[in-house]
Structure 1
Amino acid sequence: MKTINLHDWQLSGEEPMSRAQQNLLNAACADLASMPWKGGHYLSQDDYRHILTAMVLSWRIIPGLDMGDGKPSMIMLPRSSKELSKSKATEAIQLAFCLGDEPSQFGLTCNSVRWSSVVKLARGISDSDEELSRRFAA
Structure 2
Amino acid sequence: MTLASRAFAQLATWPDLRQAVPSCGLGRAVRSAQGEIAHFHSERDVDLRLTDRAVRRFAKDLRGSDAIRVVPGSQWVTLRLDAASDVDLLLTLVSVALQAQQLWPDPADRAVVGCNDQRGAGFVKADLGGL
Q: Same fold by TM-score, threshold 0.5 exceeded? A: no
More helix, by proportion: 1
Pick the TM interval, shorter chain.
Answer: 0.3 to 0.5
**Normalized against structure 1, the TM-score is what?**
0.31
Larger Rg: 1
More strand, by proportion: 2
**Normalized against structure 2, the TM-score is what?**
0.33
